[in-house]
Amino acid sequence: MREMRELVFLQKKNIAKWEHMATAAETVGLDVDQLKTDFEGKAEDLFKNDLKVARDYGVRGFPTMFFVDENGKQEMVYGTRPYAFYEMAILKLNPNAEKREYSKTWENLFSIYPTLTAKEFSELSGTPRKESEELLNNLADKGKLKKSSTKNGAIWKVVNNGAKGK
């Protein structure tokens, strides 16, 4: 989904066209032939079923995430929320859950997430938003990241092959 959104908002591609869906699928490592088979076959029925399940669960919008424990008790987080909301939902269901630490360096984060906004980088790195944007801009100035600006903000991507802007 992220790749599709970037095709629309950064590259102005019409993602209703199969060629762009196939490009996105290939980029993220999906089996394009299987996707085409599913898309031309059972996809519409499965999508309708997803909509029914969403209605049954009272989903009103995107994103809506449900967390369910082994006893069926559930917590729901609706809408775009800070990370702490998701963490609290998990801890309500499993108070003994432990958080795993990870490397918060820009190199590690971009090795996991190919593109990041300043807000995403801030959340993942634990760096204040303003400092995050300064760091990302500095890395772009040094040719380590490529910055793409949109009307809704910027997104950064690792520069491949050491070539600035590619």
Q: Which domain holds residue 125?
A: 106-162
Q: Report the pLDDT value the prediction gives residue 162, as an integer from 0 to 100.
A: 45
Q: For residue 75, what is the DSSP state? A: E
Global pTM reads: 0.72
Q: Which residues contact 79 (CB under 8 A, 6 or more apart)?
A: 61, 63, 64
Domain count, the chain: 3
Q: How far is CA 107 from CA 14, 24, 61, 103, 115, in A?
A: 32, 23, 34, 9, 12
Answer yes or no: do 114 and 156 share one domain. yes
Q: Which CATH number fits the domain that encloses residue 148?
A: 1.10.10.10
Answer yes or no: do 112 and 151 share one domain. yes
* Residue 72 included in any domain: yes
Q: Report the pLDDT value the prediction gives residue 125, as an integer from 0 to 100.
A: 96
Q: Report the pLDDT value the prediction gives residue 83, as an integer from 0 to 100.
A: 84
Q: Report the pLDDT value the prediction gives residue 132, as an integer from 0 to 100.
A: 96
* Residue 154 included in any domain: yes
In the predicted model, residues of the chain with pLDDT beneath 50 are 161-166
